[in-house]
Amino acid sequence: MNNVDLSLYLVTDNSDDEEKFLKTIEEAILGGVTVVQIREKTADTLDFYNLAVKVKEITTKYDVDLIINDRVDVALAIDADGVHVGQSDMPCDITRKLIGEDKILGVSAATIEEAKKAENDGADYIGTGAVFPTSTKDDAPSITKQDLIDIVKSINIPVVAIGGITLENASELKDTGIAGLSLVSAIMGADNPKKASEKLLNIFNS
């Protein structure tokens, strides 16, 4: 299994203002973000590739793992650290064959069955949620805190919680056994991404 520090896992939102987008990622890393996942659901392949190259320069500079959402081709093209796939993306076992054993592979799972299948198919970690209502992913299934605890207990690979996590509610996830918090808006939309990241990491580690 590939080891990855999932404590504070940043998932990016759309990159309309590229300069601000890249600055936000760098500030977040300076605040303690341990993993960055680029999620670009609507970008053309070339635009996604060019953006990923720029983000990789930042993550490499600070020795932070870079994960590409869904797009195995882009991940391989820029030699990212890993890929994250959902239940409607490339199957986990096929993704593992394509990226090899050394890359990190994350899978979204909202049930124990999905989580166990992902573990058996070669996933290194699970992203599960939405643990709170979220506006960044309309189709995200919602799960209860108990669901989250049950999923954590059912598998031997780490779990990150995602979906609507904020500075106000992050502490509610403390006793669930998760390996980290995964966030979009609470960092990407923050006035001060560095400070927001520091506070979130403190909440998770306290």
**Which residues are known to be catalytic?**
39, 108, 137
SS3 string of 132-167? CCCCCCCCCCCCCHHHHHHHHHHCCCCEEEECCCCC
Q: At 48, give phi and psi (nearest 5°).
A: -60, -45
